[in-house]
Amino acid sequence: MKAYFLDAYRKGAALRLGDMPEPAVGPDDVLIEIHAAGLNVLDSKIRSGEFKLLLPYKPPFVLGHDLAGIVTRVGANVRRFQVGDAVYARPRDGRIGAFADHLAVNEADVAKKPTNLSMEEAASLPLVGLTAWQALVERARVGRGQKVLIHAGSGGVGTFAIQLARHLGAHVATTAGTSNLALVRDLGAETVVDYRKEDFSEVLSGYDVAVNSLDGKTLAKSVKVLKPGGQLISISGPPDPAFAKEAGVGWPVRQVMRLLSLGIRRKAKRQGVGYSFLFMRANGKQLEEITTLIESGAIRPVIDGVFPFEKLNEALDYLDTGRAKGKVVVKLR
């Protein structure tokens, strides 16, 4: 089968199209014929080597964290799926590889594709949907009447998180560029800060939750907008000791993470707010919850563009410009 390989860690490295055997299917796996794959900033960060400490993949390997397709084979222990099912998934770390014709995925990471979405639309959702769900529902427990700040509202996570926070009953603020203000308002953001013209930390205050996906400067300023007892959740780092413990990394890496997050943890503590780093994990049951919201019309995918599979490297280059509104997807079939 055809797949795109990363041969060496390097920023902007082109992936190599090549051949590999069809994946072996374990007793708890489903083999998925991939029809579409979503691109994520995580793919670019892994490609550049930024995540080698957390995700020590050994090149050559196949990237890709989002997929939608058809089940073509099931393992002996699989009960939730059968051949012919249309599904979508974010494969767990260590078993990624959506930039390929087929992928064997643990049954626990998979959900039925929303019936009202195309394959391309479905492939755009798993990673960003699970990230938003685990930040807002699982960790922050956002409820009606709370105030939530979502940074980078026009990005992949942002477009989903705005809709989810509004569905949960929160007042949503977001940051976006001038050309994207209408989009984020249409998604449900009630307070919109044009980062080209205003400093969000000077105009927002009293928020219960802030979700950061940007740089360290934005992270530090986000502390100011939270009220005492508020929660600052970052999906772009730095990792904190709690994450290091959960991830089960070795002592040297734990110490590195502790030092990397020391500044922001101290700043948050002085302001009486909590800081935590979130690295989303695969979860098919949570994807089923997301499917329900999508089929009810509460959340819709936002796709900037769909590229043919043979132009995957062009799609990655476009993603790296940071100009995409929502998600970028490649179509295999």
pLDDT value for 244: 81
Comma-separated ranges of CATH 3.90.180.10 domains in the chain: 2-125+301-331
Comma-separated ranges of CATH 3.40.50.720 domains in the chain: 127-277
Check: CB of residue 3 under 8 Å from CB of residue 18: yes
Q: How far apart are CA 216 and CA 234, in angstroms?
A: 10
Residues 26-48: tens digit of each pLDDT: 999 999 999 999 999 999 999 99
Nearest to 80 by CA among 104, 103, 109: 109
pLDDT value for 251: 84
pLDDT value for 120: 98
Helix, strand, coil shares, percent, the chain, to 5 = 35, 25, 40
User: For residues 268-277, b (16+ Cβ closer than 10 Å) or e, as one string?
Assistant: beebebbbbb
Tell me the average pLDDT of the chain: 96
Q: How far is CA 25 from the centre of its chain?
A: 26
Length of the chain: 333
Residue 21 identity: P
The domain 2-125+301-331: what is its CATH number?
3.90.180.10
pLDDT value for 173: 98
Peptide bond before 91: cis, by omega within 30 degrees of 0?
no
Check: CB of residue 184 under 8 Å from CB of residue 204: no
Any residues with CB less than 8 A from the CB of 311 and at least 6 apart, and which?
Answer: 330
pLDDT along the chain (333 residues), means of 10: 98 97 97 98 96 91 98 98 98 98 98 98 98 98 98 98 98 97 98 97 98 96 98 94 84 86 95 96 98 98 98 97 96 97
Q: Token pair 């222990």 is at which residue?
A: 77
CA triple 117-178-182, angle to 5 deg: 40
- Dihedrals phi, psi of 229, to nearest 5 degrees: 90, -5
Name the burial class of residue 234, with classes exposed (0-12), middle (13-18) and buried (19+) by CB atoms within 10 angstroms of its CB: buried
pLDDT value for 183: 98
Q: Which CATH architecture has domain 127-277?
A: 3-Layer(aba) Sandwich (3.40)
Residue 6, both tokens? 């990363």
